[in-house]
Structure 1
């Protein structure tokens, strides 16, 4: 088959890109190695996504927001403030919603609900516009790009051509590598364990990032448990790889007791209420985001460390930036796969992401170092930052959309 746009990967970024491009007279293909049933019914994977206000606006525009609310009235939880802490000290750097003149800095929502909403929105576009073709259940085995077209070969032997091929298949994108684009990777030597818990004391919808000694803890405030009304949160525990595995197999009571201790009982007793999931922490930044007839979006464009919670937000930002360039070219009757719109997209997305990617890498390295000078330096940095109101305003404005 021949498409105008062929997307490799039916995760949230790939589906959102298809949704953003649908209804404009373009033929769109999506290639995904998972079977269609897995795309349509994504399982809970432990990950809670902290959405900035601009990302929330994108989900509303693409029709995902209302779908998520329809799935679960308690699914979208406001993030009012953020606290950053170091070691056992009660001192915290506080980024308050009042700095951005909004009632919340952003929103929290489960990753699997975003995926489900993206699938249903894309299905609706398929019916209304008849311009999206899903090729599920087969992996891409070969990729060839030149000045005229991109071509992919699937495991079953079928070949498909497009004016533009877009990789949206994870930070370790095989499509990106097949095109010949390498990436700088930083393995932090740690994994994160994610799960949901209930706890005794209210979190007041404040997110925590707690750089403890030997561990990093994050708490993402969720709405109360729909069944019991209990205070509820997603917790993220970051440890060296070898220390994560035993925690995955602890019985529920022992794990709950350990999480309570790790949080120093600051929210009272905690109780595990979900399955547990672990992910290695590897930052990835490709050497290029585009090639002839090719571009990357989502994690294939930037694979972030989760400490700043910008991974999915950058993914949506890439969808917005690329779709804007492509639709402008299409509206002007120009080739969407031409070098000029791709070059503009690469420049825009790199300027938006590279500084924070590098800053995040440095922060994650500093705040996981266990030497005494590093501990003192990071405590000093937090205290100085707490006094820098313009700095705090800038962070709040970024999260809340600059208002």
Structure 2
């Protein structure tokens, strides 16, 4: 079977990428292990995705956003970072931008369902579900994917979007730097007595990290990061005991709490591929960059890879080039690395500093947090990054203008 592009992986990034290619009238194949029903109606998995304004812009353009019910979208108006018992906190307010909110929170499974629904409206997209890949190869003429049932898929371009543990990436001989943070993340929804005021919390405690993602008032997604044995113990508690322990872990700040969903555990492993491209091959989504969730940018970076790859193929068609021309793949590599590596490294540094419980490091991060909290240009720059709807790769002149705007006296 001949296609323009073959995508392996039908997670949110893979589905959005397929829709982006289909919108360019490309013939696309998507290969996924799960059955179609599991993609069309994915189960709740506990994860709430923080979307930037740029990500919502792209989802809107792809026709995905309109398939997400308004009542399922929660405004993220403010964010605050705390450490230990220190009164110092870094607060980022939407008032530092020209937008009423910093971003939006949407359940992960609903993004995937919406992407699937948008893809049903596209032409020339073939979904190979319940399909396992037996082999992948590329040469100067084409990419080839062999499925376990013997089906052969040929395309000009092969894209792996099959998770941070991508088997396709490995099969194509591309290694990845992996960092096992030695912790597990427990996620669930909880109601709570006190109001959250649409403020997201990131609280680096001693021996744990707590995040609160505000949904409707008195309801939030709770993200607790602890060791695997501790996460397993909490997962096994009955609902009343779990709610009481979570109330204590939040220091009683939220009042009485009650479990409102199933609980889910995820190991914390960061991944950064050593290369994003090969011959007629590219990585997208978590297969390229799998982020620690502390900066809440994982799926946003995945959507950035979608936009960059779609721009690559649009350029190829406009200029009459091969979809997988080496010069275009090299450009994608440069753009996506420049757009992801600084944040990936910064996230690793934040996790390292704010989860180190040695007394000296505790004092250092408290002092550091107090310092940056007083730097309005820094806070304004962070807020502006989240609220920016502009192109995924702004020109250097655009970046300069934005940078100077953050430094204006009295700005924000």
| Residues 295-351 of structure 1, C-alpha deviations (whole Å, 9 max, x = no match) | 011101100000000000000011001101111211222111111111111111110
Higher alpha-carbon deviation: 48-57 or 326-335:
326-335
Shift of 1:270: 1.0
Q: Aligned match of 2:311 in 324, 328, 349? A: 324
Shift of 1:74: 1.9
Shift of 1:91: 2.4
Q: Is the aligned partner of 1:90 residue 2:87?
A: yes
8 Å CA contact 1:75–1:223 kept in 2: the answer is no
| Residues 354-402 of structure 1, C-alpha deviations (whole Å, 9 max, x = no match) | 0010010011011111110111111111111111111111111111117
Structure 1 match to 2:393: none
SS in 1 for 2:128: strand
Structure 1: runs of 5+ lacking an equivalent: 225-230
Q: Give the superposed CA RMSD.
A: 1.1
8 Å CA contact 1:196–1:232 kept in 2: the answer is yes
Q: Is the aligned partner of 1:239 residue 2:236?
A: no
Shift of 1:25: 2.9
Count of matched residue pairs: 390
Higher alpha-carbon deviation: 200-209 or 54-63:
54-63
Structure-1 separation of matches of 2:356 and 2:209: 11
Structure 1 match to 2:248: 261
User: Which consecutive segments of 4 or more residues in structure 1 shift more than 2 A?
Assistant: none
| Residues 144-172 of structure 1, C-alpha deviations (whole Å, 9 max, x = no match) | 11222111111112221110000000011
8 Å CA contact 1:289–1:296 kept in 2: the answer is yes
Q: Aligned match of 1:303 in 290, 294, 304? A: 290
SS in 2 for 1:176: helix
8 Å CA contact 1:185–1:283 kept in 2: the answer is yes
Structure 2 match to 1:2: 2
Q: Is the aligned partner of 1:385 residue 2:382?
A: no
Structure 2: runs of 5+ lacking an equivalent: 390-401, 403-412
Q: Aligned match of 1:274 in 261, 284, 296? A: 261
Structure-1 separation of matches of 2:210 and 2:332: 35
Structure-1 separation of matches of 2:372 and 2:73: 30
Structure-2 separation of matches of 1:40 and 1:12: 11
Structure-2 separation of matches of 1:276 and 1:196: 8
Structure 1 match to 2:154: 161
Alignment of 1:345-364 (within 5 A): 345-364=332-351
SS in 2 for 1:156: coil
Structure 2 match to 1:208: 201
8 Å CA contact 1:292–1:339 kept in 2: the answer is yes
TM, length-normalised to structure 2: 0.93
Q: Is the aligned partner of 1:374 residue 2:374?
A: no
Structure 1 match to 2:111: 114
